[in-house]
Structure 1
Amino acid sequence: MTPTPVEINLHDDVVLRSLRTEDAAALAEAYRVNSEYLAPFEPLRPANFTTEAGQRTEIAALAANREAGTALPLVLAHGSRIIGRITLSAITRGAFQSGNLGYWIDRSYAGRGLMTAAVNEISRLAADELQLHRIQAGTLVDNVASQTVLRKCGFTEFGLAPRYLLIAGRWQDHRLFQKILTR
């Protein structure tokens, strides 16, 4: 099930919308500007990741996953500037009907409620458009800001996963959260 294109005004001209091929340059710039800020929360990236060509490759892979129905990649945009990403990935059908949520926001836009609004919207899309039963998100143990967003959006913590993901060059523990979308 491929979702329809998304474009939702979140607040003050910040739009949550589908990731597009033409976002490559703006997304590369967003990653360059925020590379130091995001480094503690992300996997180590190849050298070309913060280039337009590197982002074209990333976007092509995400677009293929979107067409296959296994991902919903979105961006937060303020005018022509990309200020964040939110992606529902590893969408699994059958008896599971679930997906994994990941997101980040530009340092200068953090703390304004924009990611909370975006997580609420992607949760709604996951339920209404994708007809998922559940979405899951993992945060580093000390990432209180992300945990706060998830809790505000109705996610509940359900476990601790030791050495869960290779982040910043080392296997790190994560708190696991879920939101049940169907009754």
Structure 2
Amino acid sequence: MTVLQGATVTLRPTLPDDVPALAAIRATPEVRARWRGGDDLAAEIAADLQDPDTRCLTVEDGRRIIGMIQWHAEEDPDYRHAGIDLFLDPAAHGRGLGTDAVRTLACHLIDVHGHHRLTIDPAADNTAAIRCYSKVGFRPVGIMRRYERGLDGSWHDGLLMDLLADEVVR
């Protein structure tokens, strides 16, 4: 995969050397509360890098690592689409960098990979993420009840959102 340049952020293929910085971001309380995971976050990120079905891109602001955006594709021609997931350093929140990262990847998946539909599934109570994705053109599809287990062991709802190629806000 090539390097993608957004208005502000750069998305580049994640390297093994990025894992410690990304694990530190995933370990922040704000990110940890939203991303599931066990005790070895570095091992989980390294496993994502080895998963042939997941493409991982490091998000940089300038030359500083601020997070990771991932995507996967359903290639069955009758259901073809791509899904996106993202985490950013809380120090980067509220500056439009997440919106830029999602928009940059969405445009790439539509324009280069030919996807007509993209999905993303934030926690239903993650208003900041929902607002970010909405700015790119994602729309709510519906609530996925008891979709993911939280750190406290209880089930939490997720919001399925999708974006059609002609709806992206460029």
Partner of 2:46: 59
Specify the SS of the correspondent of 1:162.
Answer: strand
Tell me, in whole angstroms, the C-alpha distance in 1 between the residues paired with 2:31 and 2:98: 15
Provide the residue aligned with 2:31 in structure 1.
38
Alpha-carbon contact 1:26-1:81 (below 8 Å) kept: no
Structure 1 residue 62 displacement after superposition: 2.7
Measure, in 1, the Cα distance between the counterparts of 2:34 and 2:25: 15
Question: Given residue 151 of structure 1, which amino acid in structure 2 is its aligned partner?
Answer: S
Q: Which residue of 2 aligns with 1:109?
A: 92
Q: What is the TM-score normalised by the length of structure 2? A: 0.85
Q: CA deviation at 1:158?
A: 1.2
- Change in CA separation of 1:61 and 1:139 when aligned onto 2, cut-off 3 Å: closer
Richer in helix (by share): 1
Residues 79, 18 of structure 1: CA spacing in aligned structure 2 closer, same or farther, 3 A cutoff? same
Question: Which residue of the other structure, out of 154, 163, 172, is the alignment partner of 2:137?
Answer: 154
RMSD over equivalenced CA pairs, Å: 2.1
Distance change in 2, residues 1:39/1:26 (3 Å):
closer
Q: 172-181 or 74-83, which moves further after superposition? A: 74-83
User: 1:140 maps to which residue?
Assistant: 123
**Amino acid in the other structure paired with 1:59:** A
Inter-partner Cα distance in structure 2 for 1:60 and 1:10:
30
1:87 match: 70
Moved over 3 A (4+): 78-81
Give structure 2 stretches of 5+ with no counterpart. Answer: none
Return the offset for 1:47. 2.1
Task: Find 1:47's aligned residue among 17, 22, 39.
Answer: 39
Percent of residue pairs identical: 25
Equivalent pairs, count? 165
